[in-house]
Structure 1
Amino acid sequence: MVWTAEQWPIGAALIQFPARTRDGITVEDAGPTEWARVLGEVTACGFEHVDLTDTWLRPGDLTDGQREDLVRTLKDADLGVTAISVVRRSILDPEHGEANVDYALRTVEAAAGIGTGVVSLGLHRPLTAQQRAAEWFWTQPGAVDQQRDEASFDLAVARFSRIARHAASLGIQLSLEMYEDTLLGTAEDAVALVQAIGMPNVGLNPDIGNLIRLHRPIDDWEQMHLKTLPYANYWHVKNYYRDHDPATGAYFTVPAPAESGLISYRRAIEIALEAGFQGPISVEHYGGDGLSVSARNRDYLRGILRAKLGARR
């Protein structure tokens, strides 16, 4: 489907909403009343779509009855679902890898039941204690996978392929999210993994915001997008202010509205459209009132799409 700027599905990520209520109940068990409260806030911010980020609600762990309740709650909130994003459930986790494959398979089935066409998966692992204690978790080192290790690469291809085959049978696309210190940690590695899997329903989620926020040298953001956007089928969009002091070697990054940070999304969207990108988008923001900033990001992206798509007619 070729979308207009107004039709393009741009969903709100739910990274700012906790996985438990104030009473300590998981969001899954809290049920439709809690779901309606959060989804109502999303609707009130002008969104027509939501990314069901599993740091808030885990669709893959819902019973059939709970999933039916979720579908009704989404309908009552007038929200479509851009995707289900699976976060920090790496299929290469040395302890939980097999269990995470099973969880991904359940999430694919949940996506089909809910009526969304995309599941976003990654290879990033749970935050360390040091990351959880930090003001911004990316300022502390996290788990590091064996990169360019033949055995790890082959295992990732095999496990993602298994999930992708099941997804294809249900009409679901998999989108692999870029993240540092994993086999999806550079543009070259991410493209190589998608090419090795070689399935038409597997693409990239070129969330290079995960990379530009690092307190270390990074690749050029425009070059990363030029390499990855031709393979993109979903897109987490966020931005960061970034500075480097050559005298001390110090780096500084904090979240920024999409229009203000290091990445020019005017250029990034131009690259995406030239590459034929037609996937849904999710807008994210850490810190403060993340949902309101995400709403600003949505309007900013629509304005660029309006200009770029109009210019191409």
Structure 2
Amino acid sequence: MNPTPNTTALNRDTWPIATCMHGFSPQLPDGTRLHDASAEVWDGVFRTISSLGFTAVEIADSHIRPADLEPTRRAELVQIAQSHGVAPISVHVQRQSVIQPGKGEQNLAYAHRAIDAAAEQGMSVFSTGLHQPFTEAQQRALWFWTAQGPVDPDDADTRALAVSRLRELGEHAASVGLQMSLEMYEDTYLGTADSAVRLVEEIGLDNVGLNPDIGNLVRLHRPIEDWREMHQKTLPYANYWHVKNYTRDEAADGSWFTSTPTSMELGLINYRAMVELALELGFSGPFLMEQYGGDSLGVCATNRTYLQSLLPPAR
């Protein structure tokens, strides 16, 4: 059963479609973090987002951490965004896994603060996952996904701990009116379609679903599951969706693999077919346009226009 709330009849003009923040540097030229930047700097960020036609944004904690802002600054962030017609609809807590060795409890406490901050700021989705900080090899790589990252252990007790802590967060999110979405990511308990679905079922909460970001898996330079089958298994559980695409090529004998970021329309994943399937299954959650490299914001805007063409027109 799809856990996404069955809200009003959305269409291509009203469907919430947010942009990511990859197109902005998390650090200013003078070394100031975007998190700590002045209201004038934040104003420029949201003015740019608005100028590209976006009315929604995902606040990624790689750039701004609502949980660690003073209440006055949280209010200021929302006020500035709204002054440009932009709504922060989700907070994305990334690389702070609740089962990260030595930091799991600390990350759990941070996630609870992020949920409260998101609710205070009027967001609708708390987005997170089980991916951990980059390894040194990933930090050195041109594309981080071409180097090996941390791997969740094949251990029943650790998986049970992940279920328990994520359920705790899901219950908190539900208590403040938020959906909680778990992002699929390689080498975690959300790294295959079957494991991700089983994790959501083990958590067992109506407001906890999947972010079927299959692009995270298509880009890997290794054998992958069939992208069609992954979508077919995970879309029934989707309540929020990071969409991006990659070209992918591989040798028939498995001796090499390669991928490159591209637009939604041109990559390996056929989003026309997958969005149609999602709608048939009752998906009604927000979309998040995501892009690495190049003019990230520009590609996100192009992808939004393409995605809107796949959504039902207004009646």
- Kindly, what percent of the aligned residue pairs are identical? 47
> Which of 295, 300, 303 pairs up with 2:309?
303
Residue of structure 2 equivalent to 1:36: 43
One-letter code aligned to 2:107: N
Given that 2:15 and 2:286 are in contact with CA atoms closer than 8 Å, whether structure 1 keeps it comes out as yes
Partner of 2:282: 276
- Which stretch has the larger CA shift, 17-26 or 173-182? 17-26
Number of the residue aligned with 2:15: 8
Equivalent residue of 1:302, what SS?
helix
CA distance in 1, matches of 2:253, 2:179: 46
Structure 1 residue corresponding to 2:29, chosen from 3, 13, 22: 22
- Give the match for residue 127 of structure 1: 134
Secondary structure class of the residue paired with 2:205: coil
The structure 2 residue matched to 1:150, chosen from 147, 153, 156, is: 156
Deviations 1:49-83 (A, max 9, x none): 11111111111111111101111111112101231
Aligned-pair distance for 1:28?
A: 2.1
Give distance in 1, aligned partners of 2:100 and 2:151. Answer: 10
Looking at structure 2, the residues matched to 152 and 19 of structure 1 have their Cα atoms a distance apart, in angstroms, of: 32
- The corresponding residue for 2:184 is 178
Give the Cα–Cα distance (whole angstroms) in 2 for the partners of residues 214 and 230 of structure 1.
Answer: 24
2:3 alignment counterpart: none
For 1:252, the aligned partner's letter is T
Aligned counterpart in structure 2 of residue 68 of structure 1, from 43, 59, 75: 75
Mapping of residues 39-58 of structure 1, within 5 Å: 39-58=46-65
What corresponds to 1:242 in structure 2? 248
Greater relative contact order, per chain length (Cα 8 Å cut-off, separation 6+): 2
Farther-moved stretch of structure 1 (294-303 vs 10-19): 10-19
Q: Within the alignment, does 1:266 sit opposite 2:284 as a pair? A: no
TM-score, length-scaled by structure 2: 0.95
1:81 is aligned to 2:91: no
Which residue in the other structure is 1:93 paired with?
100
Q: CA deviation at 1:131?
A: 0.9
In structure 1, what is the Cα distance between the partners aligned to 2:244 and 2:293?
A: 12
Structure 2 unaligned spans of 5+: 1-6
Task: State the one-letter code of the partner of 1:225.
Answer: H
Q: Distance in 2 between matches of 1:15 and 1:194?
A: 28
Moved over 6 A (4+): none
Matches within 5 A, 1:211-230: 211-230=217-236
Deviation for aligned residue 1:248: 7.0
Secondary structure at 2:293 match in 1: coil
Does 2:143 align with 1:161?
no
Give secondary structure in 2 for the equivalent of 1:146: coil
**Post-superposition shift, 1:247?**
5.4
Taking structure 1 as the reference length, the TM-score comes to 0.96
- Cα contact 1:82–1:282 (8 A) shared by 2: no
> Equivalent residues in 2 for 1:96-111 (5 A)?
96-111=103-118
1:31 to partner: Cα distance: 3.0
Alpha-carbon shift at residue 286 of structure 1 (Å) = 0.4
**Where does structure 1 lack aligned partners over 5 or more consecutive residues?**
none
Distance 2:89 2:305 in 1: 16
Distance 1:96 1:36 in 2: 34
Q: Which amino acid counterpart does residue 213 of structure 1 have in structure 2?
A: R
- Secondary structure (helix, strand or coil) at the match of 1:52 reads strand
Question: How many Å separate the matches in 1 of 2:109 and 2:29?
Answer: 29
- Please give the root-mean-square deviation of Cα atoms over the aligned residues, in Å: 1.3
Q: Distance in 1 between matches of 2:192 and 2:132?
A: 17
Amino acid at match of 1:73: I
- The question of 1:204 aligning with 2:225 is answered no
Deviation at 1:246, TM superposition (A): 2.9
